[in-house]
């Protein structure tokens, strides 16, 4: 690490933190102006709104806009260096453009690693704050002031051959009634379990069934077993029986991986959205590194338009990046597009752009 490297890295970090603070304040002000009426209806104090909503909303929005913050920061301070002829003076000493990009690569890698770690483990607990607040107070279609603490006639797959159903379930008390499981061998019913009530036992982390009748069927013969109470370890948990559109945002990556495995076994139609979420958590941090290189290559040239022209090009590239990401996500969720390809497609496209700009700038 030379003096030049420390000089650029210092500018990188200082500009980034200034940018993220300034833009976060703007986003919070806009969000506050839009939700003022909703906050007033909650009856909560300002402190409660800050701790229950904004402590989760701010990390969520910062993680979402993190690549944009990085891109703007790189263009801003690099363009300033170019306008002061610092880059020309540096390259005229015989330093190659690849050597000049070394501090950008180091800074981009550090920010990429930081965002990746946050996406996997730090962001989901923060998402839980704003998601729960939205579900309870803001999003009327999702929750709001309408009682959605219960559901009825819920049917789902346990695995490739087993199906379960529950007539009524209360998500608050985690209890239900008229529960059944049916297991098939080809088209033949071989197992049938019915319970009058089902309840989640928090101490054993198992389901407690009451007034259970189990039928094991083998051709024309069957065994019947009655029991007053029994504990069962099924592959679904109380959260799987909730109407929670934010569930995938709340789970850490290890929890999300386990949930995806279960959903594949159950044949769920939500597997694509879960796979897209998993791969997006890995793809977005990589975009930080790619946008860092693109920003450095664009802003390193001294042009008549100065920083304003560089920022305009930067915003155009960001808009294109977002559009490619949104289109690929929609095709993955609504069509047959592979969610892994959908998550990584923007990085492939703009990675090629970064390579082209680097080769052009090196000349």
Per-domain residue ranges of the chain: 3-141+270-362, 150-238
Predicted pLDDT of residue 266: 74
Residue of 263, 235, 234 whose CA lies nearest to 247: 263
Can you tell me the mean pLDDT for 39-56?
90
Cβ-Cβ contacts under 8 Å for 133 (sequence gap 6 or more):
52, 53, 56
Question: How far, rounded to the nearest angstrom, does the alpha carbon of residue 253 sit from its chain's CA centroid?
Answer: 9
User: Cα(55)–Cα(17) distance, rounded to whole angstroms?
Assistant: 18
φ, ψ for residue 93, nearest 5 deg: -80, -5
Question: How far, rounded to the nearest angstrom, does the alpha carbon of residue 274 sit from its chain's CA centroid?
Answer: 9
User: Cα(136)–Cα(148) distance, rounded to whole angstroms?
Assistant: 10
Q: Worst-scoring range by mean pLDDT, 84-98, 162-176, 305-319, 347-361?
A: 305-319
Cβ-Cβ contacts under 8 Å for 67 (sequence gap 6 or more):
284, 287, 288, 291, 318, 321
% of the chain residues with pLDDT over 70? 95
User: Cα(239)–Cα(235) distance, rounded to whole angstroms?
Assistant: 12
pLDDT tens per residue, range 297-338: 988 887 765 667 777 887 788 888 888 888 888 888 887 789
pLDDT tens per residue, range 218-253: 888 889 999 999 999 888 888 788 766 778 888 999
Q: Check: pTM over 0.75? Answer yes or no.
A: yes
User: Cα(182)–Cα(192) distance, rounded to whole angstroms?
Assistant: 5
């Amino acid at each position: 690490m030379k003096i030049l490297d420390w000089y650029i890295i210092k500018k990188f970090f200082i500009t980034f933190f200034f940018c993220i603070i300034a833009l976060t304040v703007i986003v919070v002000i806009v969000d506050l102006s839009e939700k003022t009426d909703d906050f007033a209806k909650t009856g909560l104090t300002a402190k409660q709104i800050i701790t229950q909503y904004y402590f989760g909303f701010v990390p969520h929005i910062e993680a979402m806009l993190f690549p944009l913050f990085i891109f703007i920061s790189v263009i801003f301070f690099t363009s300033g260096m170019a306008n002061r002829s610092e880059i020309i003076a540096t390259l005229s000493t015989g330093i190659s453009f690849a050597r000049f990009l070394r501090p950008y690569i180091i800074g981009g890698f550090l920010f990429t690693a930081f965002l990746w770690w946050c996406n996997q483990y730090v962001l989901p607990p923060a998402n839980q704050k704003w998601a729960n607040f939205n579900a309870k107070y803001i999003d009327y279609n999702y929750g709001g002031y309408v009682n959605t603490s219960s559901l009825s006639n819920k049917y789902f797959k346990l695995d490739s051959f087993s199906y379960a159903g529950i007539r009524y379930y209360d998500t608050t008390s985690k209890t239900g009634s008229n529960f059944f499981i049916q297991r098939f061998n080809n088209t033949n019913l071989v197992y049938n379990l019915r319970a009058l009530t089902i309840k989640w036992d928090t101490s054993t982390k198992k389901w407690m069934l009451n007034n259970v009748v189990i039928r094991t069927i083998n051709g024309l013969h069957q065994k019947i077993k009655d029991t007053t109470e029994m504990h069962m370890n099924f592959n679904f948990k109380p959260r799987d029986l909730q109407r929670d559109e934010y569930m995938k945002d709340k789970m850490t990556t290890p929890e999300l991986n386990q949930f995806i495995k279960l959903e594949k076994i159950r044949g769920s139609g939500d597997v694509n959205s879960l796979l897209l979420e998993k791969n997006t958590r890995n793809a977005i941090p990589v975009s930080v590194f790619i946008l860092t290189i693109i920003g450095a290559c664009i802003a390193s040239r001294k042009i008549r338009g100065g920083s304003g022209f560089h920022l305009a090009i930067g915003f155009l590239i960001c808009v294109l990046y977002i559009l490619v990401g949104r289109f690929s996500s929609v095709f993955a969720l609504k069509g047959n597009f592979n969610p892994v390809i959908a998550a990584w497609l923007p990085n492939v496209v703009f990675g090629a752009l970064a390579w082209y700009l680097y080769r052009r700038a090196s000349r």
